[in-house]
Structure 1
Amino acid sequence: MDWTGLSPDEARKLLVNKDKSKRDKRMDLARAVATFVRDGDNIGIAGFVNSRQPVAAVHEIIRQAKKDLTLSFHSAGLAVEYLAGAMALEESSCTIKRLEFAYWGIELFGISPMLRYLAENGKVELEDWSNFNMSARFKAAAMGLPFMPCRSPLGSDVMKANRAKLMDCPFTGTPVVLVPACHPNVALIHVQEADMYGNCRIEGPLFTCPEISMAAGYTIVTCERIIDHEEMVRDPNRINIPFFAVDAVVEVPFGAYPGNCHSWYYFDEIHIREFRSAGEAFRKGHKDSLRSYYNRYIWGVRDTDGFIEQIPYRQLKHIQQIELREFQLMRSQN
């Protein structure tokens, strides 16, 4: 097995022939997912652990019950946890068949109960990489290369758990590891600002999001707000993802909630603990709390607005105030 998403040749053909014109790409999230995400796809999950995770897009994938997905990411938390929880509750609904990743957890909130549940019960295929190697795989794909040479796997056992190849460098004769390009069928990316054409601004760390967008066959971008194109191009150096790499733009305030979105809102520790506790209870055989969570926040609502309406206003205000204070402090120190 060499390619679990698009092969380099398939990706090249698709990207060369795809309409990359400057056109209005705004649409609602349900339409974007229905248009670009198919059963059996390799989905590139952008963001990093609980930061700028494409939670809104993942919730919609769950509601549309996409099946047999491969998930590719370097480090993720909430987005993957939601998909895994849906599969654990309803295996006839949204399902994951394979994971290619470096880390899956919820950081200070604890390890992932859903990863433990799926792995310990043999329900998914796992391919283990380092963070750098997954980033290199996306970088190779973004550059149109079938692989990227790396030294980092040398001296470790990580190559026993993935498809990397060892060879001698043709120039130096020293060992080098080749990691295969990763071309997801679809990338899911959440950013702070985008324009109607798909140009994106990212505040804070980029988390390999530009590379994932360029590597994927199609890219769905959710954003906190859509701004005028004139405002976007007034500062072109701040455009991190270009319009021709994006196929759908969806304005979804709180689209990364309950994770954080730099300069917009911080983690909602109360809600994350509620979600993780329900997952941990499920892993230990108590299924009611996780099912109640999904019925209330995902299956029982139409969209992200319905999800956010379930959250106490005081919690949302609190996470916005925390992030605003930290952002102002950083700017005052520079």
Structure 2
Amino acid sequence: MYWTGLSPDEARQFLANKDKSKRDKRMSLKEAVQKYVKDGDNIGVAGFVNGRQPIAIVHEIIRQGRKDLTLSFQSAGLAIEYLAGAMALDESKNSIKRLELAYWAHEAFGISPLFRYLAENNKVELEDWSNFNMSARFKAGAMGLPFIPCRSPMGSDMLQRNRAKVIDCPFTGRPIMLLPASHPNVAIVHVQEADIYGNCRIQGPLYTCPEIAMASAHTIVTCERLIEHDEMTRYPNRVSIPFFAVDAVIEVPFGAYPGNCHGLYYFDEKHIPEFRNACESFRKGNPGPLKQYYDTYIFGVESTAEFIDRIPFSQIQYVQKIESGIRLEAGFTVIG
């Protein structure tokens, strides 16, 4: 058995030695990426498709340049597309070695042009899992187990595309599928609220983010806003990720833009197609639009705030307004 990231024994030893004290974990995004994201790392990418994806962290990883990455995720879109675009433009600075995934595309906005480009040109290793399989692998990692039993998807050919094993269950005698735990070197997560110690509050679907954070050796969290610790602990049942799983916390409003952040802003239905169309142009042999996009929105800025400044204010207002309207109509309270 081979492990891409930490082995279960390495992860247990690392966790035993890890500083789990309650301390101020605020730092800049540049500092966090420089300290915790290394060449060759297995990165656990939180969020789901284009919902609450850790875009701000990914942009900073691209600016600093990281190579030979393994990306582990359940379902993702923008975060992986951005990393793939950086690789497509300059493999000497940014590159993906391996993908362990269930789904990579953009749902209503279309399939991923760069997934197709990387796969058709044999530029990455692929390990295929179902959505539940990847969630279960992170759950095993979070629980400190080397594997977790699962019945799905034994009726498919997916066993030919991953490291799962099928054995006879010692209790029922029936076949059962064993999924290896996933222990990324670093998790990248975006949430609505966090305190300075790293406690996180997620509004809406959790997207397996707590499991990814708990399974990883290190976790970088960006949040829409930092709140007081007393406010965080006033409702302890709402703490989605505990402080001892987090190594760095950075307040980054619009840290998931142009994707959605539940309760705060909707998908930008203008900007996502702009980026995806540039990726499609690259796949078809024209790198110009993609290079221009990266020069304008990623390499041409130093922070998410500068990135947002390049978006028409009316677009930002619209994605906030439509999300607030959706949430209010559904009877949810909007984070103010």
TM-score between the two structures when normalised by the length of structure 2: 0.98
Equivalent residues in 2 for 1:266-285, closer than 5 Å: 266-285=266-285
Match of 2:317 in 1: 317
Amino acid in structure 1 at the alignment position of 2:306: G
Unpaired runs of 5+ in structure 2? Answer: none
How far residue 28 of structure 1 moved from its aligned partner, in angstroms, is 0.7
Take 1:10 and 1:305, find their aligned partners in 2: how far apart are those partners?
A: 38
Answer yes or no: is 1:305 the counterpart of 2:320. no
Residue 104 (str. 1) matches residue 82 (str. 2):
no
- 1:242-272: per-residue Cα shift (whole Å, max 9, x none)? 0000000000000000000000000001000
Q: 1:254-294 CA deviation, whole Å, 9 max, x = no partner?
A: 00000000000000010000000000000000110000000
The one-letter code matched in structure 2 to 1:205 is: P
Does 2:226 match 1:230?
no
Where does residue 3 of structure 1 map in the other structure?
3
Change (3 A) 1:132 1:296: same
Q: Distance in 2 between matches of 1:243 and 1:310?
A: 34
Separation (CA, whole Å) in 1 of partners of 2:307 and 2:261: 17
Q: Which residue is equivalent to 2:260?
A: 260
Report whether the alignment pairs 1:78 with 2:78. Answer: yes
| Counterpart in the other structure of 1:115 | 115
Describe the SS at the equivalent of 1:21.
coil
Amino acid at match of 1:213: A
What displacement does 1:72 show?
Answer: 0.1
Equivalent residues in 2 for 1:14-33, closer than 5 Å: 14-33=14-33
Structure 1: segments with no counterpart, 5+ residues = none
Alignment of 1:1-334 (within 5 A): 1-331=1-331
**1:2 CA drift (Å):** 2.0
Residue type of the partner of 1:271?
Answer: H
Give the partner amino acid of 1:67. Answer: K
Tell me the CA shift for residue 332 of structure 1: 6.6
The 4+ residue runs of structure 1 with deviation greater than 2 A are none
Aligned counterparts of 2:213 and 2:332: Cα–Cα separation in 1: 33
Q: Deviations over 1:60-96 (max 9, x none)?
A: 0000101100000010000000000000000101110
Give the number of aligned pairs: 333
1:203, distance to aligned residue in structure 2 (A): 0.3
Distance in 2 between residues matched to 1:158 and 1:275, nearest whole Å: 31
Partners in 2 of 1:216 and 1:332 — Cα distance? 32
1:145 aligned counterpart, secondary structure: coil
CA distance in 1, matches of 2:41, 2:104: 20
